[in-house]
């Protein structure tokens, strides 16, 4: 059972920031977990700002929406550095689909945490080839708390950690849902990749 990071603060000490990363494959509940944590902060009357890359318009141009259709308002940004300008004096910063940002997202998260903010980041840890995705490895390295969530393999029913692309496209970023991707276990992922290479 996952225990959420300790949220208490010693009021006599300087405000301490932190970085939490929720990662996993497609359909593993990353965004669902991000929304859950952000809603808890909102219920606690903390100031929350939420961001997502403007390239991600799959469900809504502004809101963050999970596959289960839970949603929360957000601000789409073109560049990671925009987050620093827009975060203001909030207590908590949420960032979805972090893998779509460039490497500067790592320094942005560090800066926010160093300024006393709780930073909660969600993103794919691997791309469709099973390789580390964009800035995610660096974010995992600097985070105080890391949660890896899993989906269920569409082929075997086992736990899934890989996002298998159903199309032949070799472009790294192809936005899509169940029409383009399947969550797969390691064995089913490798079998599918081998079949693609043979074809």
Residue 164: which of 133, 136, 191 has the closest Cα?
191
CA distance 162 to 29: 13
Residue of 20, 33, 49, 97 marked active site: 97
CB 70 within 8 A of CB 32: yes
Instruction: Assess whether 144 carries a catalytic annotation.
Output: no
Q: Which residue reads 């929350």 in tokens?
A: 48
**Pairing between β-strand 64-65 and β-strand 71-72 as defined by DSSP bridges:** antiparallel
Q: Is the dihedral of CA 185, 141, 36, 86 positive or negative?
A: negative
Q: Is the dihedral of CA 73, 78, 84, 88 positive or negative?
A: negative
CA distance 190 to 194: 6
Q: Which two tokens stand for residue 64?
A: 């963050």
How many residues are there in the chain? 199
Q: What is the DSSP string of 54-78?
A: TT--SS-SSSEE-TT--EE--EEES
- Catalytic site positions: 97
């Amino acid at each position: 059972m996952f225990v959420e990071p300790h949220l208490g603060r010693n009021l006599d000490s300087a405000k301490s920031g932190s970085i939490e990363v929720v990662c996993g494959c497609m359909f593993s509940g990353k965004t669902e977990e991000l929304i859950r944590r952000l809603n808890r902060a909102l219920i606690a009357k903390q100031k929350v700002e939420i961001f997502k890359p403007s390239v991600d318009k799959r469900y809504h141009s502004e809101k963050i929406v999970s596959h289960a259709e839970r949603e929360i308002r957000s601000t789409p940004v073109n560049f990671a550095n925009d987050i620093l300008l827009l975060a203001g004096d909030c207590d908590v910063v949420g960032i979805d689909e972090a893998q779509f940002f460039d490497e500067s997202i790592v320094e942005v998260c560090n800066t926010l945490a160093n300024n006393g903010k709780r930073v909660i980041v969600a993103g794919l840890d691997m791309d469709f080839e099973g390789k580390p995705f964009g800035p995610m490895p660096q974010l995992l390295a600097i985070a105080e708390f890391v949660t890896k969530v899993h989906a269920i393999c569409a082929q075997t029913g086992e736990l899934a950690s890989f996002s298998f692309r159903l199309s032949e496209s070799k472009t790294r970023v192809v936005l899509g849902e169940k029409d383009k991707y399947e969550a797969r276990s390691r064995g089913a992922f490798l079998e599918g990749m081998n079949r693609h290479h043979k074809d």
